[in-house]
Amino acid sequence: MRVRRMAATLAAGATVVALAACNNDGGQGGGEGGGQDFLTSLTFGTGGASGTYYPLGTEYANIFEENIQGVTVNAIETGASVENLGQIYQGEMQLGLTQNDTAISAVAGTGDFQGAAVDNVGWIGKLYPEAAHIITLADSGYESVADLEGERIAVGPPGSGTRAVAEAILSAYGIEAGEYEPFEEEFGDAQGLLQDGNLDASIFVIGTPSSALNELAATNDVRLLPVEPDIAEEIAADTNFATYTLAAGTYDFLEEDVTTLSVFAALVASTTQVSPELGYDLTRAVYENAGDITLPQSDLITVEEALVGQGDIPLHPGAEQYYEEQGVL
């Protein structure tokens, strides 16, 4: 796992550097001068194996192959949002799962994409909300995020959308870089470190409910720290995050509602390598076959909310046609 995590981290960093170089050289989206070279053999960037993106992407890859004639889809493990968007820009991937806030930054050329705007990514659709979970063990004594100053905190690997959310939450409580010890772990590795006493807290943006968190709670007394409502609203006002409530009962150990922040998991596709016709078929398959997904998030994948969180991300032309037919636009 450590080798894979390092590879994902290096790939994400290299992607952003490459994007900046392309932009500085006057390059265009797709790394091929913006020309259209539509493909039917697609590489699908997901996320780490311990999260939701990888199993979800693998199931959708099978759905696409079973329902769209002549297409092959290879879902691969990646560093998630930043890496997926960057690799689509470079023409190395054609589909990617991403947090909506990261994709908004990518097309605007801000955040991790400062000076390297991604101009060939099209919105296929929102899938489900991803909530920030601030995880500690019950015997830690932590009652508030403010208690985490000076502690060991997993904030997600570079190239993951989790990192920005974690830093925004900590900063809102006056905990800046250098005032805690960051661990750049994937979710599964962070849970193991937390369980072994080598971490004090783990902040991750994950699909709800998380089976991995349920597994941790089966053998440990787990506590989720809240983001106080007024602080959550302040963060939401200045970012692309939204306030969110993890309702009591979401997890067996969660006896009270917990206020936090959320983003949205979304599917995006290359506009230079995925044709409008294939984009239409992909969009239709996402929503009309959502019931075939075995993960708990499947109940949240609905065409009625497909454009939630889109922001300034352009629609893929094929998705636009589908949504017009469905009356969503």
Which pLDDT score is estimated for 50?
76
Alpha-carbon gap, residue 3 to 10, rounded angstroms: 11
Residue type, 242: A
Percent of the chain scoring above 90 in pLDDT = 73
Residue 13 has pLDDT above 60, yes or no: no
Which pLDDT score is estimated for 162?
83
Which pLDDT score is estimated for 329?
94
Which pLDDT score is estimated for 171?
96
3 backbone dihedrals φ, ψ, rounded to 5° = -65, -45
Which pLDDT score is estimated for 31?
44
- Helix (H) or strand (E) holding 302, with range, is none
Residue 17 has pLDDT above 70, yes or no: no
Residue 9 has pLDDT above 90, yes or no: no
Which pLDDT score is estimated for 175?
97
Which pLDDT score is estimated for 8?
44
Ordered by where they begin, the domains of the chain are 2-128+265-326 (3.40.190.10), 130-263 (3.40.190.10)
Residues 6 or more apart in contact with residue 32 via CB below 8 angstroms: 91, 272
User: Is residue 77 within 8 Å of residue 46, measured between CB atoms?
Assistant: yes
Which pLDDT score is estimated for 16?
58
State the DSSP code for 146.
Answer: G
- With cut-offs at 50, 70 and 90, classify the pLDDT of residue 124: very high
Percent of the chain scoring above 70 in pLDDT = 88
The DSSP bridge pattern shows strands 121-137 and 201-207 to be antiparallel
User: Which of 7-16, 128-137, 290-299, 304-313 is least confident?
Assistant: 7-16
